[in-house]
């Protein structure tokens, strides 16, 4: 009976120690260390691996999108700078046009006065010539 109880104790101890082991368990097989996991642990690690690969893919996509957005922002900034330069150039041109218009208006006023003066002189010369001709004709006829 002691022998049966010893065998039974040994079998129960082996079964209990086998079933009661905690995982992950490190086992050395032919000088290599192997880690043994349970099926639920393996499934969980597979989920983690899939999540990690998904995160890496999302990180790569996000990095590419960020680089693209940065290049777009840089391009837009360059265009804004160019448009500001063009705008300032147009502002200078507008100022020059305003100055030229002022000069033209002043010159127009001077020319208008000169034209009026010349028309007045033309009338005076015409009237003077008419009077001179009339007086000369009168004196010629009277003689």
The string of pLDDT tens digits covering residues 94-143 is 999 999 999 999 999 999 999 999 999 999 999 999 999 999 998 889 87
pTM for this prediction: 0.46
Which pLDDT tens digit goes with each residue over 26-68?
Answer: 777 888 888 888 888 889 999 999 999 999 999 999 999 999 9
Site of tokens 């010349």: 118
């Amino acid at each position: 009976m002691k022998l049966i109880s010893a065998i039974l104790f040994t079998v129960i101890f082996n079964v209990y120690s086998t079933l009661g082991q905690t995982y992950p368990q490190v086992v050395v097989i032919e000088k290599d260390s192997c880690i043994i996991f349970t099926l639920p642990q393996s499934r969980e690690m597979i989920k983690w691996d899939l999540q990690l690969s998904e995160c890496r893919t999302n990180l790569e996509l996000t990095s590419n999108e960020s680089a693209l957005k940065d290049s777009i922002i840089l391009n837009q900034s360059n265009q804004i700078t160019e448009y500001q330069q063009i705008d300032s150039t147009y502002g200078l041109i507008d100022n020059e046009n305003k100055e030229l218009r002022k000069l033209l208006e002043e010159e127009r006023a001077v020319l208008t006065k000169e034209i009026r003066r010349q028309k007045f002189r033309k009338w005076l010369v015409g009237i003077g010539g008419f009077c001179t001709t009339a007086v000369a004709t009168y004196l010629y006829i009277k003689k």
